Amino acid sequence: MQRRTFTALGAAAVVAGALPAPAFAQQQAAETYTWKNAVVNGGGFVPGIVFNETEPNLIYARTDIGGCYRWQEATRTWKPLLDWVGRDNWGWSGVVSMATDPVDTNRVYAAVGTYTTDWDPGNGAVLYSDNRGETWGAAELPFKQGGNMPGRGMGERLAVHPGKNYELYLGTPSGNGLWRSHNFGRSWSKVGNFPNPGNFVVDPTNPYSADNQGVLWIEFDQIGGNIYVGVADPDDPLYVSRDGGATWQPVPGAAAALGRADGNRTIPKQAAVDNTNGHLYIITSYDPGPYNGGPASGRGGRLLRLATQTGAWTDVTPPYNPGRAIPGFGGITVDRQNPGTLMASTCNNWGPDEILFRSTDSGATWQTSWDYSDDAGRVDRFTMDNTGSPWLSWNGQNEGDTYAVKHGWMIEALAIDPHDSDRIMWGTGATIWGTDNLTQWDTQGELVRRDASGRRLAQPVQKFTVGVRAEGVEETAVLDVAALGGTLVSAFGDIGGFVHTDLDRAEPMTRSDWSTATSVDFAHWNPNVIVGTGNPHDNGVGHVGVSTDRGRTWRAASPLAGVPGGGHAGVVAIAANASVILWSPSDTSVTPVRSTDLGATWTPVQGLPAGAKIRADRVDSPIWYAFSGGRFYRSTNGGANFTDTGASGLPTAGVDDFRVVPGHWGHIWLAGRGDEKLGIGGGMWRSQNGGSTWTRISAIETALSVGFGKAANGTAYPALYTSAEIAGKAAIYRSTDAGGTWQRINDDAHQWAFAGSAITGDPLIYGRVYLTTNGRGLIYGDIA
């Protein structure tokens, strides 16, 4: 098994080799860059939060595509730990599980790998660190792991043996069974006599859902010295070793206890041990999550308690879920300071909100985080304060029992601080919530009471506050970015997009109906006018949005007949003087359309194929450009008609981006990543005559993107930025001499896995660059 070591390095030197133009060679970077996030706070799924059981305030959080983080108590923020992951191993940014060593608390481990499908060409690994994630080594595994696959909120699949901390266990998917390390995670081998690799499959007809969920979690019973392992097999879901892992046996009664809920087949999603009372708690669900709602009928899961000393099973499922049957459970946690106190969460209770359950008597009785009453509607134990992430209202308003700011959804990370009963954190599909006043719950009593006639009446309670605990967690996929100078506009997956006027402050999201935004642009001579496109929730709402006041307010353009409200947003662009908007939907049956009234009406564009990429000239408003399938097009009448320029030598596929230079008529740069399956190479090309002829930039082997920023002192041409591969190194590069030479400006500590699918410089600040990532948010760099 291969092992590699990765250290957080400073700015990496790139060998100098500047040659006269047009050789376009690379030169050594002259400046060191500092890198930060444009602050959003949250934005993606946090499926795991892990507290160290022996050292206070040592907390880790894992995300499904954006790496993992360590809590910094002094600032109450999270520090990213996997920014060093580069493009060659981009799948390592999906974190399946984490484990923090209770003996040597400097040690931490992360099981990584994003997909078990062929979407990720690489295998998974277990990363190990002896300094809390400051530097890492990697034990590469001979199989894939699924940090962004169904079931990623189960576990933890990775565990340190508290009695012999050199020994770790790893539960794996895809039928690979249980694995073990005897040397602090440096090497791994399969536990050959573990009898059951699991068999539960969500949907065998769907490649994304067809994988065996496998071995789900490992828990240690410190009273009896037993090791318990949960398996995705409703008929055989739980195993125990009573001899330190030498042999394994099914736990009697487990199938009857864990395998069904109201007739629905269920699997054991998570477990938690109360080592004082000798209890193992297990939650089940009919679906591994995280997207499921409830089953067609009945409950989707149960909560079981196993007495580890006697083997007795007790069903301690909460008997009541406001308004419906329990859809299945997401997370479970026990209070180490108060044995017998535990909490659990529903998984996708959906409208009106998720439910947190709390018991202080080992599951004999339960209370809910909110309830219905006949006299006051919905009543709540706590108030949700989204000040830290104002966008968590999703631009909505409270509507009866459905609040704009919710407990969350996909709650599978749920953890009471083992050192402080008042602190809890939970992860959702968008953020981390938490409070430092949890035990106030226990002084409130019941939320409702019944009067003599049986009516449910609200009880007055003194609410406590739950607030955002995601500061520093920037886990979003960003698809496009535009820098206006003093204002940054962005298109985000899942959460629409943002207009940042202060990069250090989380802003409300763009006021649109988009779920995922895909493209943004602005009028070069009138940057108050901004356009964007995204996939709307409502089929009756247009894909394109327009702002005429620099992003402060937005209105939806008219919908386009024949384009449904789903994932067809494509690319939008606006003329330099804001006179024309062109929109090219990604629906291959719809050709690009044109509007001369800011999206009130649309007419078809002539001369372009469906799905063409479109851009406006940044100097001459009537001039427009388009690219599709190796052919380059130009319009001289405001985008009404396009003709093929006859240009040759451009790639026929594998081109994600082309951009037009501000201040230079007809200067266009095109970035190609290539397509290995089709045998098409990548690179970068430039045109200085409106796309009629092109020159290939010989130094650049592949390129994801290209963008422009303020020119360096003494030069007239904008600084160029790209996420590209030069001399075999995928990195972020800058040129200050129109592409004659290129400097690497990021370093090996700042690679962000697959970064820079869109990139731009700042028009007012020389050296500043903004780049998108697939899971680490919107990054910007400045010369130090």
> What span, in angstroms and rounded, lies between the C-alpha atoms of 172 and 210?
15
- CB under 8 Å to 319, separation ≥6 — which residues? 366
Residue 2 pLDDT > 70: no
Which comes out higher in pLDDT, residue 12 or 638?
Answer: 638
Q: Which two tokens stand for residue 227?
A: 């090791």
Helices (H), ranges, 483-592: none
Phi, psi (5° rounding) for residue 22?
A: -100, 30
Q: Which amino acid is at 61?
A: A
Residue 552 pLDDT > 70: yes
pTM over 0.75: yes
The whole-number average pLDDT for the span 137-164 is 97
pLDDT digits (tens, 9 = 90+) for 496-523: 999 999 999 999 999 988 999 999 999 9
Q: What is the DSSP string of 224-288?
A: TTEEEEEES-TTS-EEEESSTTS--EEPTTHHHHHSEETTEE-EEEEEEEETTTTEEEEEEESS-
- Going by pLDDT thresholds of 50, 70 and 90, the confidence category of residue 3 is low
- Going by pLDDT thresholds of 50, 70 and 90, the confidence category of residue 52 is very high
Secondary structure E strands in 469-623: 478-483, 488-492, 496-500, 514-523, 526-536, 544-547, 555-556, 571-574, 581-584, 593-595, 603-604, 613-616
Sign of torsion, CA 476 352 96 133? positive
Torsion of CA 476, 479, 484, 485, to 10 degrees: 40
Set 262, 494, 644, 748: catalytic member: 494
Q: Which two tokens stand for residue 375?
A: 């006299």
Phi, psi (5° rounding) for residue 198?
A: 85, 165
> Please, which residues bridge with residue 153 across strands?
none
Answer yes or no: are the C-beta atoms of 172 and 157 closer than 8 Å. Answer: yes
> What span, in angstroms and rounded, lies between the C-alpha atoms of 173 and 215?
6
Whether residue 290 is preceded by a cis peptide bond, meaning omega within 30 degrees of 0, is yes
pLDDT recorded at residue 566:
67
pLDDT digits (tens, 9 = 90+) for 208-232: 999 999 999 999 999 999 999 999 9
> What span, in angstroms and rounded, lies between the C-alpha atoms of 99 and 103?
12
- Going by pLDDT thresholds of 50, 70 and 90, the confidence category of residue 30 is low
Residue 7 pLDDT > 90: no
Residue 728 pLDDT > 50: yes
Average pLDDT over the chain reads: 94
Residue 200 pLDDT > 90: yes
pLDDT digits (tens, 9 = 90+) for 81-135: 999 999 999 999 999 999 999 999 999 999 999 999 999 999 999 999 999 999 9
Answer yes or no: are the C-beta atoms of 650 and 630 closer than 8 Å. Answer: yes
Q: Which two tokens stand for residue 312?
A: 């007795």
Q: What is the DSSP string of 370-394?
A: EEEETTTEEEESEEEE-TTSGGGGT
Residue 397 pLDDT > 60: yes
Question: Does residue 64 have an active-site annotation?
Answer: yes
Q: Which two tokens stand for residue 195?
A: 């009898």
- Going by pLDDT thresholds of 50, 70 and 90, the confidence category of residue 436 is very high
> Please, which residues bridge with residue 669 across strands?
659, 686
Please give the share of the chain, as a percent, with pLDDT higher than 90: 91
- Going by pLDDT thresholds of 50, 70 and 90, the confidence category of residue 23 is very low
What is the C-alpha end-to-end distance of the chain, expressed in Å? 40
pLDDT recorded at residue 565:
66
Question: Does residue 287 have an active-site annotation?
Answer: no
pLDDT digits (tens, 9 = 90+) for 643-682: 999 999 999 999 989 999 999 999 999 999 999 888 999 9
> What span, in angstroms and rounded, lies between the C-alpha atoms of 708 and 667?
12
Torsion of CA 155, 344, 302, 53, to 10 degrees: 40
pLDDT digits (tens, 9 = 90+) for 261-317: 999 999 999 999 999 999 999 999 999 999 988 999 999 999 999 999 999 999 999
